[in-house]
Structure 1
Amino acid sequence: MSLSGKEGGCDCGAVRFRIEAEPVVVNCCHCRQCQRQTGTAFAVNILVKPDAITVLQGDPAPHEHPTPSGAGQTNFRCSDCGTSVWSIYHAAGDGLRFVRAGALDDPHAVTPQVHIHTTDKVDWVAIPDDMPSYEGFYPGREIPAIMGEDNAKRFARAVGRG
């Protein structure tokens, strides 16, 4: 899936951005926080390094949220319409941005590679049998199988473990 060069933005058009590199991984998170923050059953997150996002217009405003890990999350939203465009999950450090796939101009360009926090999954969502899924976050030993060796190394460097 090629996402480099894909653009997106908020609902009102005040914030526009472009992804400048291929993602480390794309996950579908079913946790209650993602459900509440997106107002739907899950969030599809495109994990990229901070320098892989170019803001073309506007200035997404940070909003702090608690997380079950206790590390917290900064969710960047349009100041005008409130659309979430990306987040930083502090448990993963500051080396990754979790771009909301629904904020892309073409969300059809994105396919999740893994489903996480499925203990909170709503019953009507069906995960394909051949799709990796985890009750919580995927364990470290599973990362190379999910992301591939090169992206696993990129992930480890981004979260300060490599």
Structure 2
Amino acid sequence: MQGGCNCRYVRFRLTSAPIFVNGCHCRVCQRETGSALAINVMIEADQVEMLGEGEPEIVVTQSGTMVTRSARCPRCGVGLWGTHPDFGDAIRFVRGGTLDERVMPDAHFFTVTRHPLVQVPEGVPNFPGLPTPEDPPLWDEEAQGRIDAAMAACLPER
């Protein structure tokens, strides 16, 4: 899959299939995207390949105690991907709307603040907040292996 910003200065390619896709209805994602929800395509950082000359700028944001980094086009300002403290720099959450082809969420989070006009399709897992350890796993062992390998590769050497 390929994607990029609105002015097409920053272009990128996902070199593997996403690990997971979520629809996040939290107020932070709503404000970050200026929309009712963010569609986040979870993928290893090293599986996002830059195309062409444009490079995103990295913006550090803080919401309460949560510090994240997001990549934005330095020309048009469109948010391309972000990080989450639980995964560090190993995993990127590419904004689904920046992809040339559309993706559908595998699950929806923070539906307690879901915009009333947005309906979660029947049969798609959804949670009032984040899933808890008591909830069934959202991804299989292969996906978990990809996450673990990406996070291990980003650990500082001792």
Corresponding residue number in structure 2 for 1:95:
90
Equivalent residue runs for 1:92-131 within 5 Å? 92-107=87-102, 110-131=103-124
Aligned residues: percent identity? 35
- Give the number of equivalent residue pairs: 151
For 1:115, give the aligned amino acid: H
Corresponding residue number in structure 1 for 2:146:
154
For 1:79, give the aligned amino acid: P
Structure 1 vs Structure 2 CA RMSD: 1.7
**TM-score normalised according to structure 1 size:** 0.86
More helix by share: 1
Corresponding residue number in structure 1 for 2:39:
44
What 5-or-longer segments of structure 1 have no aligned partner? 1-5
The structural deviation recorded for 1:93 is 1.9
Equivalent residue runs for 1:1-162 within 5 Å? 6-57=1-52, 58-68=54-64, 70-107=65-102, 110-142=103-135, 144=137, 146-159=138-151
**TM-score normalised according to structure 2 size:** 0.88
Q: 1:141 to 1:48 in 2, by over 3 A?
A: farther
What 5-or-longer segments of structure 2 have no aligned partner? 153-158
For 1:153, give the aligned amino acid: G
In 1, distance between residues paired with 2:125 and 2:86? 22
